Amino acid sequence: MLNLANMITLGRLGAVPVIVWLILEQHHAEAFWLFVGAGISDGVDGFLAKRCGMETALGRYLDPIADKALLVSLFVTLGWQHILPIWLVLLVISRDFLIIGAVLLSGAIGHDVEIRPTFVSKLNTVVQIALVSWILAHFAFGFGDIADTATSVMIGATALTTAVSWYRYLVIWLKDMSGMEQGR
């Protein structure tokens, strides 16, 4: 159960508080590089799991938990420091709470529902990662005046894809639940 892929995922999970601490202590270059390393580790553990036969039940839960812990923690930290707008942080967090809440509520009433990633949710994750990477890189290395325009565009793209993903998951869940009510 605890193979190389899962150990890499656990390492990514363990990096979360370190990255948050680095940001809070204004060590942006170190936070940026550790975040990049965490992103690479996500690809490596996924590759090992799928291509090298290291998929486990633990890994299927651990990987998305590590990904969400990383992104949500960084959005909260960057919002706390007034680097990202609070409304964006709340939108990102509410989307994740919607997904978790829907799964928990469905399970509590005896209707297990499997939430599968949609195209827009995958796009949203990429956009969220790009925004956090850009912000960390900007604070680490400085990009001058162009940074303000690019940051605004990336915040808008993150808000749009998060809102669309939030809506899509809600529609999918409501459709699934209404099918359960009708005995399907």
pLDDT above 60: residue 8: yes
pLDDT tens, residue by residue, 48-77:
998 998 899 888 889 989 999 999 999 999
8 Å CB contact between 128 and 72: no
pLDDT tens, residue by residue, 29-56:
999 999 999 999 988 998 899 899 889 9
Residue extents of the structural domains in the chain: 1-66, 84-184
Please report, to the nearest 10 degrees, the dihedral formed by the alpha carbons of residues 133, 134, 135, 136 taken in order: 50
Cβ atoms within 10 Å, residue 14: 11
Q: What percentage of the chain carries pLDDT values higher than 70? A: 95
Distance CA 145, CA 147 (A): 5
Higher-scoring residue by pLDDT: 58, 112: 58
Please name the helix (run of DSSP H) or strand (run of DSSP E) that holds residue 136, with its range, or none. helix 119-141
pLDDT above 70: residue 180: no
Based on its alpha-carbon atoms, the radius of gyration of the chain, rounded to whole angstroms, reads: 18
